[in-house]
Amino acid sequence: MQTPGVTRNRAEFLDYIAKPRPFKDLAVHDVNIRILSDVALIHGRATYTMLADGVGQEALYTDTYQKREGTWVCVSACAIAPGT
């Protein structure tokens, strides 16, 4: 997941996710998808285990998709670890 308080632009995010992930056992829960015409909001909760210390973590996320020429494209993503 992302570091609390860090905002990345597109290039920085793609570089971040291209590296080996610092977590394992990623799972999503409580997913709620709301379609509003050509925009969809996806809310959910993710759980994962950090490789460095074995501690379980969770994050709440909201992704925004827009339908462009018949294809859903992610236009925004936000993940926040509760308590940060």
- Contact at 8 Å (CB) between 27 and 47? yes
The CATH number that applies at residue 46 is: 3.10.450.50
Question: Per residue of the chain (84 residues), what is the pLDDT tens digit?
Answer: 455 567 888 898 888 878 998 889 999 999 999 999 999 999 999 999 999 999 999 999 999 999 999 999 999 988 888 665
How confident is the model at residue 3, as a pLDDT?
A: 59
CA-CA distance, 23 to 33, in Å (whole number)?
Answer: 25
Among residues 50, 57, 52, the alpha carbon closest in space to that of 81 is found at: 57
Q: Is residue 43 part of a domain?
A: yes
Q: Is residue 57 part of a domain?
A: yes
Could you tell me the residue range of the domain that residue 69 belongs to?
Answer: 10-80
Give the side-chain half-sphere CA count within 13 A for 79: 14
Q: Is residue 5 part of a domain?
A: no
Q: Is residue 61 part of a domain?
A: yes
How confident is the model at residue 1, as a pLDDT?
A: 47
Q: How many domains is the chain partitioned into structurally?
A: 1
How confident is the model at residue 46, as a pLDDT?
A: 95
Measuring CA to CA, how many Å separate 27 from each of 5, 36, 45, 76?
Answer: 22, 26, 8, 20
